[in-house]
Structure 1
């Protein structure tokens, strides 16, 4: 007869496989996490305990707050797209900034609207601006991917960052403060590998007309960030106020809550899935088993803090479930300091960035008609170089 230890290990292995295959077959991320939770629970809990765990996780105040935050951010993102304000941001920047800089800024600007596969929004603009300065399609893939995702290391409305803060109890502002060095390093390597050898065409010309339009388009996000950072307003309330401001600025008929219900419900499911997986994994005792195995083999903690998130990020190809699984495992093994939380997040993020399952990677490669191995020629060296700076730094700060 199998022991509880063996069943728990089989359960978590099958749970990760279930999540991976569910996402490959395009099932909602939240539903994938819930399915993984059920698989794990069936191997380690009684049916009654599993149902109680799912219920407790679903009605927890922290779960409801996370869902409200994710829904509000998603609604702001959808509104930006449907009112054309996202396009305005890029167009007004293009009137002031040379193409060499613009091919990096455009993906970053669209990156502040973190929707699944959102790299497809910026790809046509990177394509047209890149043609002006003679950039090949492989480099366009790198620029569109790298500069879209690097800001997510410090962007306070990034869902995976919010999840990391909720799961660990570390303030979002503190996580971002520790992430700033790796953000700067990432930008630097992106410039060195993607922009340095390009000839500058045109000059930086700040015309008040275009700058004013840019600021007006960006104002709802600025208001949201200011309310959160300066007045300590709850994030979901600040985002809601930013969305209301955007509504009054545009008065667009496209501002329709009902037509966004499918997108909003999908994002709400992610919040439920994250918290259900976390609570089920804790109740199952599987991480106690993993802890004992790690301690028995005397693994140096940083090895696990680095390798596990990279592996999970690469395997799942999505940041939200990857940070959920990574932290659910590691929080039961270690009392994580803020630098260690940042180390886990960064390693997970770069693992998911280069994953073939990463939807942004897939749609960008498809748009530019490139093979995965071609894009890896720049993505992997830039990833390794950034992590080689970040990993020792965070280990040093945590010691």
Structure 2
């Protein structure tokens, strides 16, 4: 086995051990990065370059501000009662909170926002009332359903980037892998939602066949989502700025709808310093691997192998999905390889998107996993295990179909 893979495996083992000893997830992952640096570089200059680039990159501050404003919005929705009113209304419409558990994270997943699982988490928490579901199951539900549009949402930056680099149309990509979104929903429904037992019919179901719709709660809950969507998509406003504008603009609306909130608490309760510290550590880890050339070295090893193209792309996408935890991360690395291997090959593009997403769903470097586990205060590896089983089923079904359709 090539030495770079041995070093990466050693780093992953170190991360797992540190997490088992309750070390914060950010420092634990960064420790793995420092171990790779120790074996691959040992250049303090590169260590410093990666650090300064992390703190000066626009991506870092966009992410931190976006996360902060998402948490501000969650406080507004919770304290105004809009969150509860929306869940009750959806229960009245669908007759069961089980539908809300799956539908709302999926719906919010349409909005491109790094770490956006923090927004859907409180909705999952609210909708789980009256249902026997532990914290790890809630976390897995929130994570899985929020990411089912990862490779078929034309608004996702990763989808746009992938199609631009590989020179394929977004429509062709959706035609190729859009069915996997349906597959992901079905798998999540079968394994995460159906087994749930309702313990309180009054809280979890519409026992009175009440069809009352709380329009105020719906406006105040969906309004910020729709407004953010329009600002980002229609007016090309940067995500963090869009979320900040929405947070500020909706404050007077809560008072106008006679649902006053403490403005101070909106901005102070959202300052989760531990979460922000963990996020910066993970971003530093990713940038460190880029600066010292570890990612390039892994790509080079596969390029020099005799493996079939589809296998190389699948392996690279999964590995970089695990290592970066970001759609834009594995796409930026793998899609140029696809473009060189087979320009315009939609099959390889689809393979890269699906396997990269599978890698994202089983790694602690994925920021959505970080913020979800932090919110539900649950066990990281049990949550990853649940998502891992679904990811395995997804890639097995996808691979079997792709092999039968294109390679037999």
Question: Is structure 2 residue 161 aligned with structure 1 residue 150?
Answer: no
Distance change in 2, residues 1:327/1:26 (3 Å)? farther
Query: Is the 1:227–1:233 contact (alpha carbons within 8 Å) kept by the matching residues of 2?
Result: yes
Match of 2:15 in 1: 19
2:36 alignment partner, one of 33, 40, 51: 40
Q: Secondary structure at the match of 2:128?
A: helix
CA RMSD of aligned residues (A): 5.1
Return the offset for 1:248: 2.5
In structure 2, stretches of 5+ residues that fail to align are 109-115, 199-204, 255-259, 341-347
Match of 2:98 in 1: 103
Match of 2:186 in 1: 188
Return the offset for 1:352: 5.4
Query: Is the 1:90–1:109 contact (alpha carbons within 8 Å) kept by the matching residues of 2?
Result: no
Query: Is the 2:40–2:292 contact (alpha carbons within 8 Å) kept by the matching residues of 1?
Result: yes
Distance change in 2, residues 1:395/1:348 (3 Å)? farther
Using the alignment, how far apart are the partners of 1:312 and 1:295 within structure 2? 15
Distance change in 2, residues 1:93/1:273 (3 Å)? same
Question: Is structure 2 residue 301 aligned with structure 1 residue 300?
Answer: no
Return the offset for 1:239: 1.0
1:278 alignment partner, one of 281, 286, 302: 286
Q: Secondary structure at the match of 1:115?
A: helix
Query: Is the 2:85–2:218 contact (alpha carbons within 8 Å) kept by the matching residues of 1?
Result: yes
Using the alignment, how far apart are the partners of 1:91 and 1:13 within structure 2? 47
Query: Is the 1:30–1:267 contact (alpha carbons within 8 Å) kept by the matching residues of 2?
Result: no
Match of 1:255 in 2: 265
Using the alignment, how far apart are the partners of 1:90 and 1:392 within structure 2? 39
Aligned pair count reads: 362
Using the alignment, how far apart are the partners of 1:352 and 1:266 within structure 2? 17
Match of 1:75 in 2: 72
Using the alignment, how far apart are the partners of 2:317 and 2:27 within structure 1? 21
Using the alignment, how far apart are the partners of 1:141 and 1:268 within structure 2? 23
Using the alignment, how far apart are the partners of 1:384 and 1:303 within structure 2? 16
Greater than 6 Å deviation, 4+ residue runs = 140-144, 165-171, 198-205, 358-367, 392-399
Using the alignment, how far apart are the partners of 2:62 and 2:160 within structure 1? 9
Query: Is the 2:148–2:185 contact (alpha carbons within 8 Å) kept by the matching residues of 1?
Result: no
Query: Is the 1:53–1:279 contact (alpha carbons within 8 Å) kept by the matching residues of 2?
Result: yes
Question: Is structure 2 residue 88 aligned with structure 1 residue 91?
Answer: yes
Give TM-score scaled by structure 2 length.
0.66
Return the offset for 1:93: 1.6
In structure 1, stretches of 5+ residues that fail to align are 131-135
Distance change in 2, residues 1:311/1:203 (3 Å)? farther
2:51 alignment partner, one of 38, 47, 54: 54
Match of 1:126 in 2: 128
1:216 alignment partner, one of 211, 214, 220: 220
Match of 1:240 in 2: 244
Return the offset for 1:258: 2.8
After superposition, the C-alpha distances for 1:321-380 in whole angstroms (9 at most, x for unaligned) are 476885687578655976355223431245459x9xx7868998989xxxx79x97xx88
Q: 1:159-170 maps to which residues of 2 (within 5 A)?
A: none
